[in-house]
Amino acid sequence: MHFPNLFVTATGTDVGKTIISAALLDAAARHGHQLQYWKPVQTGGVDIDRHSIEAVLSRPLLCPLPSFSYSKPASPDQAAVADKADPPYVATLMQRFRQHSAGPLLVEGAGGLATPLNEDNETWLGFMIATRLPVVLVSSTRLGTINHTVLSLETLDAHDIPVLGVILNGPHDQANLQSLQRMMPHHRFTSFPEINFESQSTQWMAATDGLWKFLKEASEEIDEATWIETDKKVLWHPYTQHKTAPAPAPIVRAKGIHLYTEEGDELIDGTSSWWTCSIGHGHPEIGAAIRRQQSRLDHCIFAGATHRPAVELAEKLIDLTEGHLQRVFYSDNGSCAVEVALKMASQGWKNKGVADRHLFLHFKGAYHGDTFGAMALAEHDGLHGHQRGGLLAGVEATPVTAHRSRLCPDGPASLAQGLDALDAIFARHHQNLAGVLIEPWLQGASGMNIQELSWLQHLGRLCRLHGVPLILDEVFTGMGRAGAPFAFLRAGLEPDIVCIAKGLTGGNLPLAATLCREDIFAQFEDDDRQKALLHGHTFSGNPIGCAAALATLKVYKKQNLFDRALQIEDRFMQWLESQDDRIENGRTLGGVMAWEIAGTGFGSYFSPAAEAMPAIARRHGLLLRPLGNTMYFVPPLSITSSELEDALQRIERCLDDMLPLSLSHGLTPAEHAFEDGAQLSP
């Protein structure tokens, strides 16, 4: 058997945790396993628990790691204050734990799950979440044990901590055991009888062998070590060339701006987990909202039925548009939000009896998602080279007139040319346009292209003038990413339809919404049922998703996150200006910063320097994913100033490491980002 590290905790003090540790250490030794012992925090006297185990076993223990010891028998937070000593912190305990490499380790807590370690309210539970060590929960057979045991197990379950089993320590009580087995049928229970602790007695040998067998069976069931290997056999990852891609980072948990790997590495989530995680990972208020909603109403059909979370969220989203939009249609991802928008526009014209509005104006470098309608109206040379066409008819405009950065204002086309091109397109097609679809101000997936604001505003004016619905794909720029609740508010546009998704639930659950003006909605109100918007997704308006979004909006408000991207943008701007010629085309909008690696050209996806970047970034504690050779940093908006400084320093260290690579592979900059068949993937 591969014996795991394990964590021995209890439902309270005085239930006999230490004697169970002694029993496990003894049984392990008799079965040929050198299980080592670590009591990270000891109160009530230096090493007293270790000494009592040594007395039972009549031998010294191997204790490989240092401990915090306090003289007062109290919870660690209080004992530290009484001794005027530093209290233990989860981070320090983790550091020590990681230093341990040789052989399996039995870690024994002090008190129970919610016992505080320090005055910052860290508890043993925090340590358990961080290590995810399999837990042995020691409980008693006394009166009150059912309540304590069930509450402890529910907490462990809620945090997905593997539980090897519960050991009821004391005089055998069959009724208690049966009640617990009935109430928590997915957990394993065993009893440890009240015996004398002389290690050679036959009673002791029998009892400890019983425990050993119990744990052996349990640990075989939770052996998780092989899941990373299994990934290679069973999974097909998005946008991944499985033949050449390096092994994916095995992520086991996340907190705030950090992701943690199976090996215990801490990585800054430099893409906000594909641009979704705006408020940081593991926000407790979102977790609580999700749990509350799940226990009240998890999901229900959204045609012919409704529920409060959907209504409340719609009201709040409409408020955020500052009077621009009045209706909300729910779906569950950004691509679908775009599909809905396209249907609203095209069927709207048909409902009005206008037959010849069949074209959508879209833009070079656009990305609107991976469904066929969205692909039809996207950049055809890059992401969707295989899927040209699709079901929708589109006319392709000029490239968006982008200023790659405020530092480097010369975009692919001059502003005057860009404006002329728009005028020409409208002059030619305005009577056939069903709508205009654009990622306002910032094209994301095609390489973080920032548009000339006056060009974008001109587009908005042309739409108004010709009565063409302006559809803004704010799947990325919405929810505060561009420095306002929506990019259109900051850019001064008047959209007819707006799509949002990323960031809507703070990265917790898939949810999307298409918002529109009342006059668009009115085109579908009719006695003729055929004129309804005949579109819906099974999970439309999922109540848990809506509850998560409502809680997310509260966090945005409390932490001022809708304004936060403006401050981040200022700092990004400063940082870009301070960089030397290691980077090209530095640019920023809101909580987005991007640049090209010097010397590798705009569109050179096959640049070896760019290919090497993710691995270099990981060495510096950053999880980044370039778009071609465009590097970008999109941190959670909740990032603190000191975290931001730390991240920028790490990026600089990456650039230092990149320098020799990009010099040795100096490629000529392509004239235009999208005309060299650039292969991009988000």
Ligand X SMILES: *Cc1c(COP(=O)(O)O)cnc(C)c1O
Q: Residue 642 CB: number of other CB atoms within 10 A?
A: 8
- Report the residue number, 38 or 486, with the smaller CB distance to ligand X: 486
- Report the residue number, 21 or 273, with the smaller CB distance to ligand X: 273
Cβ-proximal residue to ligand X, closest one: 334
Closest approach of ligand X to the CB of residue 559, in Å: 23
DSSP sequence for 583-634: EEEEEEETTEEEEEETTS-SS-TT-HHHHHHHHHHHHTTEE---BTTEEEE-
Identify which range of 95-103, 332-340, 387-395, 558-566 contacts ligand X by CB under 6 A.
Answer: 332-340
Identify which range of 120-128, 438-446, 583-591, 634-642 contacts ligand X by CB under 6 A.
Answer: 438-446
- Report the residue number, 599 or 636, with the smaller CB distance to ligand X: 636
- Report the residue number, 126 or 503, with the smaller CB distance to ligand X: 503
- Report the residue number, 334 or 483, with the smaller CB distance to ligand X: 334
Closest approach of ligand X to the CB of residue 336, in Å: 7
* Phi, psi of 552, rounded to the nearest 5 degrees: -60, -45
Q: Using CB under 6 A as the criterion, what x/- string covers residues 285-324 for binding ligand X? A: ----------------------------------------
What stretch of H or E contains 302?
none
Closest approach of ligand X to the CB of residue 487, in Å: 10
- Report the residue number, 124 or 476, with the smaller CB distance to ligand X: 476
- Report the residue number, 215 or 436, with the smaller CB distance to ligand X: 436
Bridge partners of 435, per DSSP, are 360
Strand order of the sheet with strand 6-10? 36-38, 105-108, 6-10, 135-140, 163-169, 189-192
- Report the residue number, 117 or 482, with the smaller CB distance to ligand X: 482
* Contacts to ligand X from residues 216-275, by CB under 6 A: none
Q: Residue 154 CB: number of other CB atoms within 10 A?
A: 12
Single residue of 42, 335, 449, 451 touching ligand X by CB under 6 A = 335
Alpha helices in 184-271 (DSSP H): 202-221, 227-234
Closest approach of ligand X to the CB of residue 364, in Å: 15
* Contacts to ligand X from residues 517-556, by CB under 6 A: none
Identify which range of 26-34, 473-481, 577-585, 628-636 contacts ligand X by CB under 6 A.
Answer: 473-481
How many Å apart are CA 497 and CA 515, to the nearest integer?
6
Q: Helix (H, G, I), strand (E, B), or coil: what is residue 429?
A: helix
Residue tagged 């999901």 (tokens): 299
Measured CA distances, 198 to 48, 57, 121, 214 (Å): 18, 8, 39, 21
Single residue of 375, 445, 471, 623 touching ligand X by CB under 6 A = 445
Bridge partners of 256, per DSSP, are 281
5 within 8 A of 31, measured Cβ to Cβ: no
Which residues make Cβ contacts (< 8 Å) with residue 412, sequence separation at least 6?
Answer: 399, 401, 402, 672, 673
Closest approach of ligand X to the CB of residue 299, in Å: 19
Single residue of 40, 134, 334, 447 touching ligand X by CB under 6 A = 334
Q: Establish how many alpha carbons lie within 13 A of residue 422's alpha carbon, considering only the half-sphere containing its beta carbon.
A: 23
Identify which range of 17-25, 240-248, 437-445, 648-656 contacts ligand X by CB under 6 A.
Answer: 437-445
Closest approach of ligand X to the CB of residue 486, in Å: 13
Q: Establish how many alpha carbons lie within 13 A of residue 524's alpha carbon, considering only the half-sphere containing its beta carbon.
A: 16
- Report the residue number, 180 or 313, with the smaller CB distance to ligand X: 313
Closest approach of ligand X to the CB of residue 337, in Å: 7
Q: Helix (H, G, I), strand (E, B), or coil: what is residue 379?
A: coil
How many Å apart are CA 561 and CA 568, to the nearest integer?
11
Identify which range of 83-91, 221-229, 289-297, 367-375 contacts ligand X by CB under 6 A.
Answer: 367-375
* Phi, psi of 564, rounded to the nearest 5 degrees: -60, -35
Identify which range of 361-369, 538-546, 553-561, 568-576 contacts ligand X by CB under 6 A.
Answer: 361-369
Q: Residue 235 CB: number of other CB atoms within 10 A?
A: 10
Closest residue by Cα to residue 625 from 264, 238, 235: 238
Single residue of 439, 452, 569, 584 touching ligand X by CB under 6 A = 439
Q: Helix (H, G, I), strand (E, B), or coil: what is residue 404?
A: coil
B/e letters for 668-679, b = 16+ CB within 10 Å, e = fewer, are ebbebbbeeebe
Single residue of 191, 333, 347, 585 touching ligand X by CB under 6 A = 333
- Report the residue number, 259 or 442, with the smaller CB distance to ligand X: 442
Number of shown-chain residues binding ligand X (CB under 6 A): 15
Bridge partners of 261, per DSSP, are 251
473 binds ligand X (CB under 6 A): yes
Q: Residue 144 CB: number of other CB atoms within 10 A?
A: 11
Closest approach of ligand X to the CB of residue 538, in Å: 16
376 within 8 A of 390, measured Cβ to Cβ: yes
145 binds ligand X (CB under 6 A): no
In degrees, to the nearest 5, what angle opens at C-alpha 447 toward C-alphas 445 and 452?
105
Single residue of 367, 556, 562, 605 touching ligand X by CB under 6 A = 367
- Report the residue number, 24 or 450, with the smaller CB distance to ligand X: 450
Identify which range of 58-66, 67-75, 471-479, 644-652 contacts ligand X by CB under 6 A.
Answer: 471-479
Closest residue by Cα to residue 503 from 562, 569, 589: 562
Single residue of 280, 444, 590, 601 touching ligand X by CB under 6 A = 444
662 binds ligand X (CB under 6 A): no
Closest approach of ligand X to the CB of residue 477, in Å: 7
Closest approach of ligand X to the CB of residue 413, in Å: 21
* Contacts to ligand X from residues 474-513, by CB under 6 A: 475-476, 501-502
Identify which range of 76-84, 120-128, 328-336, 646-654 contacts ligand X by CB under 6 A.
Answer: 328-336
Q: Helix (H, G, I), strand (E, B), or coil: what is residue 497?
A: strand
- Catalytic residue numbers read 239, 367, 473, 502
- If phi > 0 it is left, if psi is from -120 to 50 it is alpha, else beta; for residue 436 that is beta
Q: Enumerate binding residues for ligand X (CB under 6 A).
A: 333-335, 338, 367-369, 439, 444-445, 473, 475-476, 501-502
